[in-house]
Structure 1
């Protein structure tokens, strides 16, 4: 029987709401909704579950690693170190982000890396150094680790229900949400994290000072924190600028900046400065590279050689200085110009109950105290229930003590095993749990000595239960327990402060000096934007300027190598530079192309250059519409090193000329209609706003424009006198006047 022909399948059409077989449907969605739907879950995950530390002082990656080491028994003093590779592999049961990320986390917490004030991991092998970017750590198969003794304080009573446990990512085991640390680890060891739209940067503090401050705050909520917590204490030491105002700001708001400088000594015999401690935020390589750059550019001339002498004994940077150099003055200069002095930016952003919050030291310690109080309450309640259960069982032994033979007889005469417990319950008036406990007693323990010894515990248990119930009722007793634990931590783990202090009054800060060599130069600027700096000697040898075809020198003036220059573009922007930033040139070369040299915007060209030394005087801008604006040079002076200034002058009319005047002088203006105006700059009042359009200085005829402006000099003074003589009434009309100036027909 012939098969029926099936109708041909319709081809999918690429239309808005159509779909192609085997693919998803096309949906219109606002991009803001897409970002909210797809990106927000990721952002929240990074903030809450990855980048920010919690009140126990750890990020999830740190906590998972330490907990797995604890579960492996690496906290036991009898346990040998384990290969790092084994620890990393075990941690992947809780942290599936990859072995390399886990190992880098482990490295930072080791004693060998020197990144933490109180390392959590005892290490053997090469773990690199926090203060060096080139000293890389060895592979995990070569290194060995175990937990440091201080980790006893992190995991104390963790099995007593002090913190919550949650399933791991594949639901095969449980992990803690926090560690019940007995001291404020969040402030003792530094922690840095970058989340989405927020970050955290917690500086380390001395363990003893933190614990003492916590105790003082628990006793008096108005305690002056600065009296016990002197300031941050960095693992690398260094000297911290003691600034009470800034410290109080950090302590109260959680934000601020701590200035730290390197520690050095001077070997006079070898003429060598030895730097042994550097700021926590920099590296040996960054310091050496910066000093080498300064020597190459001529800003530092006292250094003859620098080398890294870091070895097994610790960090050392050796700087050989030239004969006659004052080492203290040189170090003041290096502090100012290099990372030998750096600032640690504080941002105490910490997760509290899953919510990020920037807090000061006071608030952090209050939150930690509340967290620790909850741990003590939960531990006490857990122990209370255990003791109550034990007491309940021992009370059954007390009843059996009255007639042991009866208990044996009941068990022996019971025919079925399942009836033993019910018969004991009936015979002694005890419940099922007690009867089960009695039935499980070994035959060798059914003697008066064993039973009496166990029964003696009843009084102790009842006393302990009463004390625990009293603790749960009285918050002061909970705080007393916390204080005792903090005092034990101080006794067992405190270390002398590493970071000492220096005061601004103790150091004679060297005034910032300009080491740029100063000598006379001639400046030439062409109309198309080429710049030349030529010394007088070179200019005498060749006076013929090399220029592009059709180009010409539009500006030339004498200056010095230290003079600052302001380049005004045709887009109303100013670019600041110095004469010393340009290489000495010759008349026979093209010179530097300013738009490229100073990174002008696309399509932006050079209009004029104004030199200045002390930003005195004025710049007068002349526009095609006949207006002029007199702007003080101080308007272009900036406290920072900004190189680009927008709105340097008005854009309402095209700029004709910008003339720098240090004192009042005569200016000659020319118009496209053949008129000229001679006036004195004192007639124009200065404007405080850079982009001011100024005032009308010349009346223009219809369709006429201002074409040029120039300072009147002795050279063109005779020419002007001729124009004045010719300036007679035209067609019976007198010449127009503007104040004391004369408008001339040329």
Structure 2
């Protein structure tokens, strides 16, 4: 690769990567990808243009421009504002201006994928070896080329030697004639015709004493051992003598004959040396190749980019765009461009971001870009991974598509238990953990990086015992706590740090909550870990409860107890870190409870009473943290939905029944509750 880096095309361009070249060098076959040379210019503030200055070999520039225009018309290349061919005598220049907020790298990837701006050339190194075509690697091709050049030089030298000898033979005859000019003229004058003269010239032994050195140039060793050497002429020499013009008999011309004969003698010796020595023959081959290099040694035009890759994923072709993703209670999902969503919010009330059935509502809304990864965990313990651009695109006023249609191989009755929106930089996943909880109280903690690679058909996220199901998955770190709540009104809180990180995805986890017969976990929540002594928590809760009673309708005369354990600064800190946990029961009752009411214990216990489960309340339907500004949607088994402001729900202690949130008909019960995202609480 140092001496033969790769092909150099007359139109320049860039060879992408070296793998194709290496494959061709190693096997004789391969494909080399060539791209046009481009650069990105900022022609206006925050607006860019892709400029093509070189195109791949054999690509027609006009056809390239036409193809780009076709893609724009067919909406396969969105984001192009203008297309111009500014080429002139100085070179190629095709300008593709882009609209604002368009990623030029994405457009460039699409140009490479769908236009001749990226072209592949096949390599098939076949050479004749022994007269038969053979597929050769680089070494074989070089050896075949060297053998070919040797054969060419050898045959050419043999041809030049034959010509030189033929010419030298003629000159030797002329030298004999000049040395014996009187006798030659006499024979010619006495001969009746040219043929007789030719025969007489050939039949005589001619004295060669004066020209023995010249004849030895043609015939080495001529005249050795003889005092008066002679020679005979052949027919070709005799004919040359007959054709000799009288002016060649002058002393000057005789000198030229002698000089030419000497030069031919030197060449003949050189040709013979080449033919007798392969070393000298290879010197000729090398010398001629160096001459070719000097003659055609113009600068290399095609650059080889060893770092570039021809592999582009579908994601490389997706424009990075901010979108709003909505998920409904009945499992419909869609994405809408954020600009569209914002446009509906300006200037007034606007319209809803999603159209749903009366018994459906948005349970999850988040803003992400089209490259954001999302994990979907199912009740059967499987996980699926989709990028946001793989979610169905919708418009305001449409429901989207059922989420289960996007997740292959779901079993009957298998539902989505959790959706995690994660950082686009998957290297950061190793900084986060995921906590799993099942209906039977099993919990597990995994490094989130275990789910970076998920096949399209999904994979097992957590091993479940027969009859168990996954009820929740949450992202967490060691500075937080896990809160598990059961159907029978119990709850347990323990630190995330108390859970070891599992290395196997198939493991079933450890006991998080010791459940009574017939009980099951209904929710998993992550709370902020706050270090506080029991005395601090009790005093804080007592003071806050008194403040709420004093602020109520019947609060006249209620005294707020003084601080004995807490300082004002510590009280303000606890107030800032306080969270509220909402509990909703099947019969429509609910309450908010301070997170400080749930003491931190070791995992595996039965927990503490979260809510009194009575005939009035019914079993627990849902438990999760809420903020003052949140709204909560309740769903009954008869399809009714009730929306309630979280701030209107009373804050009470754990061992209470709560207050009525919704009036239910006889036999009707609440089956689920969900916190509405902040963007769904106000005007859409």
Q: Sort the TM-score into its range (normalised by shorter chain).
A: 0.3 to 0.5
The alignment's TM-score, normalised by the length of structure 1, stands at 0.44
Between Structure 1 and Structure 2, which shows a larger proportion of strand residues? Answer: 2
Structure ID, larger Rg: 2
